Homo-oligomer: A and B are copies of this chain.
Amino acid sequence: MLKRYLLAPGPTPVPPDVLLAMAAPIIHHRSADFLPVLDAAKKGLQWLYQTRNDVLILCSTGTGGMVGSVNNFFNKGDKVLVINGGKFGERWTKICQAYGLDVEEIVVEWGYAVKPSLVEEKLKKNRDIKGVFVQASETSTGVYHDIQALGSVVKQFDDTLFIVDAISALVAHDLKADAWAIDIMVGGSQKGVMLPPGLAFVSVSEKAWAKAETSTMPKFYFNFKKERENLAKNQTNFTSPVTLIIGLNESLKMLQAEGLEKVFRRHEWLANATRKAVQAIGLELYPRESPSNAVTAIMAPQGIDGQAVYKNLREKYGITAAGGQDKAKGKIFRIAHLGYADRFDVITAIAGIEMVLKGMGHPVKLGAGVAAAQELLMA
């Protein structure tokens, strides 16, 4: 028997109350049963996004929300700026290119956060940049980009939209869509929102909606204007994923009961305990600055394959964490503390890492990292 622990940066564990809510019988999405359900979800998401803007609910993965953020607001040949500091930055570029946009990149070395001054410089020199794309938390490197600072840069440019992939950061980081002038912010269900995969959320500002009026790119599934019209009637454009939206309301209820400030502080606390514990084991964090509160990326020690750490955690100890992607593959492994996460998830992860590394012949003092985490988690 091997008990399983899900500590990956998505999908994340779904809380018992949410699982129960989703076990209810299916209701019809065009019936009166569904209207209050979607109404609650829509208001709850506005609360979570800290916005008065519409937050669309799409039946897709987070990537669907990213695609819709491109094909609804731009035109072929538009110049856009992508901040590419990892695998998901790269994805913005790929999506924009797939739709024929003229992509300018700021390539950020993996493990580093973008300098907002660099973005400002670029925008000043290229007045025709129509949008700036970035990740809040770049899951592949475990780095958080300073969304507040970037928002105040982009907002100076009337013709430029600020588009944030907040898929893994939502819930783990304080992201104020309105106060920070985020025009489009994309979330996904299987991360901090503690749901199964299957939903994307996208907030859209009035500045962005104005752009949508002149966008002529082909759109059918991800047609945000249609979604907006439906949302006003507490509907979605196509068949609503009723089960996931019922689960969403239960998740939102849990988050609201905890309170937004406390939710952010919990994530910061768990992330901080994880970082301190990892360093107490003698390991190095992969981010050189601005570590994410959603996921901690850890350097595998000299001579140890990061993928083997991931594999041993999973096969020997039942812990599903994550390895590295692309150029970080083999060099790192990653532990999430995202969504339905509490202190003994950190303890389990750290104890497991200690045991795996020791088992692989790396000199580890068992319990050293755990003790560092305990110290902070007693609070």
- Residues of A that sit less than 8 Å from B by CB: 1-3, 5, 23, 254, 258, 262-263, 266, 317-319, 340-345, 347-348, 351-352, 354-355, 358-359, 365-368, 370-372, 374-375, 377-378
Min Cβ gap A50→B in Å is 19
Given A1-B263, A317-B344, A355-B374, 7 further pairs, Cβ under 8 A: A3-B341, A3-B345, A344-B351, A347-B347, A366-B370, A367-B368, A368-B371
CB contacts (< 8 Å) of A351 on chain B: these are 344, 347, 351, 370, 374
Given A377-B355, A378-B355: A2 touches B342 (CB 8 Å cut-off): yes
Given A344-B3, A348-B348: A367 touches B374 (CB 8 Å cut-off): yes
Q: Is the interface of A mostly helix, strand, loop or mixed?
A: helix
Min Cβ gap A307→B in Å is 20
Q: Are A1 and B366 in contact (CB under 8 A)?
A: no
Q: Are A366 and B355 in contact (CB under 8 A)?
A: no
CA distance A341 to B375 in the complex (A): 26
Tell which of B344, B352, B374 touches A354, judged by Cβ atoms closer than 8 Å: B374
Min Cβ gap A136→B in Å is 21
Q: Are B374 and A1 in contact (CB under 8 A)?
A: no
CB contacts (< 8 Å) of A366 on chain B: these are 370-371, 374-375
CB contacts (< 8 Å) of A378 on chain B: these are 355, 358-359
